[in-house]
Amino acid sequence: MSKFDQIQEIIKKLPVAFGVEEVALEDAYNRILRENVVADMDMPPFHKSAMDGYACRLEDIENSLEVLEVIQAGSFPKIIPGKNQCVKIMTGAAVPNGCDCVFKVEDSEEVDSKHVKCTNPKTAKNICYQGEDYQKNEVLIEEGTIINTPQMAVLAGAGYSRVKVTKQPLISVIATGSELVEPARTPKPGQIRNSNTSQLVSQLRQMNLRVVDKLMLADDFELLTATFLKALINSDFVIFTGGASVGDFDFIPEILKEQEFKFYWDNTGIKPGNPMTFSEKKGKYVIGLSGNPVSSLAQFEMIAKPAIYQLMGANYSPLRILGAMAFDFTRKKADRIAVIPVIIDSEGLISEIPFHGSAHINALVSANALLEVPLNINTIKKGDNAHVRPL
């Protein structure tokens, strides 16, 4: 099993670490559901007309029919039509007992002021039957679902004006590197702008997570330790970028060891982005991402995101699409899973874009997916199938 697959197994076993809170339905979008949503009634709750037309008995479809009343959506029929009788009915209105067919207005002709006739005796029945969408007590949405637009509609339809969701974890982001300056500054020789914080904050925001504290620190062991410990007090997660590797000033793993954090992994088996730590102490989690922007992006997308979702009790499985290669891919070493920025088009064709490696974040501006190159695979030929993950 690849290191990356081992990590996915570890992630699946992480506990649900965050509690539950109740929010108003309007605030539930993109939160994680922490209760099963159960139907309190059948849907539709009554036999409902699918058309504007006339409700009658199918056996009378070829006859002239007496029109007894008009039933509007929202009202309930009072009269039960008998032989050669019908009611005029609107879309969404309840079909009267005894009627097993609705023929459309377009399929009707007036016989006189009180009678109509169906001009299409082969009409469909045009009835949505009670309980055909779901039945009372059915589980409509399972606990752990990430609430998207359809779930919002189903929650509303099932009467969930308040919804149990996972409490929002408190997250601090610390960008480390003595070379970093804020985006508003012009870097002096040897310096670069901090792009990882903006990148990471947006990845978290896409998960509907907010960052409580954003810090940028030089590679100074004492300063990093002190600031980290302070940030930890008000955080459930601390996410570092930079200093994750084995360079002279890569202090993050060392600090975590000194603070007796338990390591779940310290490398990922993906390229770019091998050095990454995931550690925990007393229910607080620390994620140490690489400094290189593409590495950090890939580590978050492929590993940190599923791990955070797991800890939040979400059933998350990233979308992967099987496409066809529009170019030949080759690499010398195949000892890690590679992720390569690519473009996948509407036909599923995967095209190459210029990419120089882990620092080349600009390449991702035109990419819309990451190509996954499996372990021990050196070449993927033009026309072969391969998996991509949409970005």
Q: Which residues contact ligand AMP (rule: CB under 6 A)?
A: 175, 177, 179-180, 192, 194-196, 241-245, 247, 250, 290-293, 359
Partner interacting with residue 384 (select from Mg ion, ligand AMP, none; CB below 5-8 Å by kind): none
DSSP state of 95: P
Size of the site for Mg ion (CB under 5 A): 4
Stretch that binds Mg ion, among 56-64, 101-109, 145-153, 284-292 (CB under 5 A): 284-292
User: What's phi and psi for 170, nearest 5 deg?
Assistant: -90, 125
Q: Structure tokens of 222?
A: 């004492």
Among 53, 81, 177, 253, binds Mg ion (CB under 5 A): 177
Across 62-152, the runs of DSSP E, i.e. the strands, are 65-71, 85-89, 101-104, 108-112, 115-118, 127-128, 139-141
Min CB(189)–ligand AMP separation in Å: 13
Residue 316 to residue 306: CA distance in whole angstroms: 7
Contact 85/68 with Cβ under 8 angstroms? yes
Q: Which residues make beta-bridge pairs with 33?
A: 165
Partner interacting with residue 85 (select from ligand AMP, Mg ion, none; CB below 5-8 Å by kind): none
Give 242 or 253: the residue with its C-beta nearer to Mg ion.
242
Min CB(218)–ligand AMP separation in Å: 11
C-alpha 319, offset from chain centre: 9
Q: Which residues make beta-bridge pairs with 285?
A: 237, 280
Partner interacting with residue 236 (select from Mg ion, ligand AMP, none; CB below 5-8 Å by kind): none
Residue 253 found at the interface with Mg ion (CB under 5 A):
no
Site string for Mg ion, 15-44 (x = CB under 5 A): ------------------------------
Q: Structure tokens of 275?
A: 């050095």
Residue 8 to residue 264: CA distance in whole angstroms: 11
Give 288 or 323: the residue with its C-beta nearer to Mg ion.
288
Among 44, 275, 291, 323, binds Mg ion (CB under 5 A): 291
End-to-end CA distance of the chain: 26
Stretch that binds Mg ion, among 64-72, 142-150, 233-241, 285-293 (CB under 5 A): 285-293
Residues that bind Mg ion (CB under 5 A): 177, 242-243, 291
